[in-house]
Amino acid sequence: MALNALQKQEVDSLSETFPTRRPVVESLEEKLYTPQKVLDHGFVRIIDYMGDDTAIVQAARVSYGKGTKQTSQDRGLIRYLMRHRHSTPFEMCEIKFHIKLPIFIARQWIRHRTANVNEYSARYSILSKEFYMPEPAQLGTQSKSNNQGRANVLQGAEAARVFELLKEDAERCYSHYEEMLNETADGNVIDENRQGLARELARMNLTMNMYTEWYWKIDLHNLFHFLSLRADSHAQYEIRAYADVMLEMVKEWVPYAYEAFEEYRLHGAHLSRTGIEIVSRALKGEKITQENSGLTPREWRELAALLPLEN
């Protein structure tokens, strides 16, 4: 999780404070540039942000300055906007993160195409010898009911063998990577009598659990969408670990917006037309079963997971 020398130098150079007329969040200011540990070598740190809860209500009202409405009215408006999916005011807030993460999670993460991204270039620089090793509790077998999920945790010799393979493959591939480059990550030439392969080619032999880094800037509306999917209990553990850390940062940044997001999106649920009809029928005392519900067995199971319906 440690920052490298250049990153530490960057933090030191930005430690000076500057006067500003724009809204700032004091608790977030204290966290700027400070890495929050994720997984074994990863981190998330806030580089910059723009706007706060006030920016959301000002955009909704197209007004200027603080104090135009009471705090309770601001909170109520933000909840209304979230409840009725009026997304534009939330787009007035933006935040920029520096994230260090395993490459296989970065490839999943980049599916969210509503952010600005600049990734560490392995064509230009040499990747550090850091690779993700999961905790024993995360070595799950393939789920038979979910092609994207895990089932039982591997135990004993089988788990030990997996760890051995992961470490052995990552270290061997990185050793070959340095050999092909004829250079180490700290810039030392391995053999003065030969030339190394181009960095853009040598990198292709690395394993997917190597760490990469990027700057990731996104507006609050799209960040909420990302977090609603990646902080969900069904999301892959590794990306969920990052989302959980980011949730805490957003909670400090825009507490009213976070409260509304948590209420209506993160822990809320969307009901289909048929789902609403089922709730209405149940409230009238009708006994609802999958057979008379109008839902497929899968839809019924999903609804039953939200509501106390008969299985």
Catalytic residues: 230
**Chain Cα centroid distance, residue 6:** 25
Dist CA 94 CA 247 (whole Å): 14
Give percent helix, percent strand, percent coil of the chain, each to the nearest 5.
50, 15, 40
Judging by beta carbons within 10 Å of its beta carbon (0-12, 13-18, 19+), is residue 228 exposed, middle or buried?
Answer: middle
Q: Measured between alpha carbons, how far is 273 from 294 in angstroms, rounded to an integer?
A: 11
Q: Which amino acid is at 2?
A: A
Q: How far is CA 17 from the centre of its chain?
A: 29
One-letter identity of residue 307: L
C-alpha closest to that of 159 among 138, 139, 182: 139
Are 151 and 144 a contacting pair, CB within 8 Å? yes
The helix (H) or strand (E) run that includes residue 46 is strand 42-50
Residue 70, token pair as written in the block: 């009471």
Task: Supply 134's token pair.
Answer: 């999961």
- Give CA–CA dist 219/115, Å, rounded: 8
In angstroms, rounded to a whole number, what is the distance separating the alpha carbons of residues 103 and 19? 39
DSSP 213-246: EEEEEEEHHHHHHHHHHHSSTTS-HHHHHHHHHH
